[in-house]
Amino acid sequence: MSASAAAIAADVRAGTRTARAVVEEHLAAIDAREDEIHAFNLVTADAALARADDLDRRIAAGEDPGPLAGVPVALKDNICTRGVPTTCSSRILDAWRPPYDATVVERLGAAGAVAIGKTNCDEFAMGSSTENSAFGPTRNPLDTSRVPGGSSGGSAAAVAAGFAPLALGSDTGGSIRQPAALCGTVGVKPTYGRVSRYGLVAFGSSLDQIGPLAASVTDAALVLEAIGGHDPRDSTSIPEPSPDLTGVLGGGVDGLRIGIIDELMGEGVEGIAADVKARVEEAAAALSAAGAAVEHVSVPSTVYGLSAYYLVAPAEASSNLARFDGVRFGLRVDADTAAAMNTATRTAGFGDEVKRRIMLGTYALSAGYYDAYYGKSQKVRTLIQEDFGRAYETYDLLLSPTAPTTAFPLGDKTGDPMLMYLNDVCTIPSNLAGHPSMSVPFGTGDDGLPIGVQVLAPALDEATMFRAAAVLEEAAP
């Protein structure tokens, strides 16, 4: 991985390094390995260098461009960037250039960051391996025969390969945390509404949340401070300022109560590997040694998370993706009638997984089935929220694996959607509850590949979550 974002920004602000030199160094790293990894759909080298030169001029004139001055950031390709192609890794958005920037892009700019490119992802963020991209899969930089996770696999791979110290992803059911675990980076899903969704191409509107992928807990905290806070353009944005996270990182966990979720350790869900469970227990021991009271806890309804999610998310996707009709933006396949054009465009433009989820969601919302499927899934979602609420009456934080296994081989699960969906079994409950959670690298599996431990917190308590994450990072083998 490249130098830390905090160190780069300090050097650039002090004038001991130029922003241009930093960007050139990262572009060279991309040139060296991008053909092998395919982390990016587009590298915006010229724009990044021009931005770096502008920052250098401002610093020379005595200005302070902000806490991320000169730091290269990779952006998931479902986050709108003005005048720059934003494809969601789908053919249906071929050549679409948004007329505006997402709020998070504006805020990164205001903090002095340099956007370096748009990263590959599963099409419309639907997947757990970045193999569902219309532009081909991304490979894990630590072992290119394996997946980087998904859907933000390009962003996780970019950080792990040293292409950028920071990246943004989106997390609807684990799409930041799961690839972070598989690539050995830090990945954060903030509280729902903590970070503006304005300019994020919607998948599941009640679940989607933008967050950082970074090489360290400190860097992740810096980004979340920069992009968080109220945005009047997002009706679900929480009306309070971004939290102070970098200031609490040294706070430790002495006196905190932390619960290990039994159901997510294999007692309620299947497929949690023995080496993953061992690392979580070691992480718990490290927190205990640092002064936390750690014990096992039951959060019973988490076992239904996967089932509820695969009704709620496809239902919202079928509604959100109705806008891609061949009329307003992106691909258009001409036909004799508007209806035929619409069908031909969507048939040619969407990949198999996206079509599968649109059909699942449309079925779940259809007359006669709504109550049996979508309505029931929302009741299960409420149960999950209530169970977490009860757990947080006793515990400050919860702990679980992030992903059931280490990175698996490319092509290993593409033939079995259910097997692929199981990769998100530990991450989905936080999305359904709307709570923050993050993946922190903690050692490796039997195959030498990274394992992530998931720290979960109640709504709006990112500060305590980051304190525990800093302790785990320090104690990691």
Omega before 151 within 30 of 0, i.e. cis = yes
**From 129, 175, 437, 439, the catalytic residue:** 175
Cα 273 versus chain centre, distance: 23
| 195-207 exposure pattern, b = at least 16 Cβ within 10 A, e = fewer | bbbbbbbbbbebb
Return the beta strands (E) in 120-233 as ranges.
Answer: 166-170, 186-189, 210-214
125 burial type by CB count under 10 A (0-12 exposed, 13-18 middle, 19+ buried): buried
**From 151, 155, 170, 430, the catalytic residue:** 151
175 catalytic? Reply is yes
Distance (Å, whole) CA 98 – CA 118? 13
Residue 363 and residue 223 in contact, taking contact as beta carbons nearer than 8 Å: no
Residue 201 and residue 78 in contact, taking contact as beta carbons nearer than 8 Å: yes
222 contacts: CB under 8 Å, gap ≥ 6: 5, 6, 9, 67, 68, 214, 245, 246
Which pair of structure tokens corresponds to residue 335? 């036909």
Q: At what angle do helices 217-227 and 462-475 cross, to 10 degrees?
A: 160
**From 76, 118, 277, 413, the catalytic residue:** 76
The phi, psi pair for 149, rounded to 5°, reads 85, 180
151 catalytic? Reply is yes
Which pair of structure tokens corresponds to residue 59? 């610093």
Distance (Å, whole) CA 125 – CA 119? 12
Nearest 10 degrees: Cα torsion 392, 424, 455, 278: 110
Q: What is the three-class DSSP state of 260?
A: strand
Half-sphere exposure (CA, 13 Å, Cβ side) for 378? 10
Q: So which residues are the catalytic ones?
A: 76, 151, 175
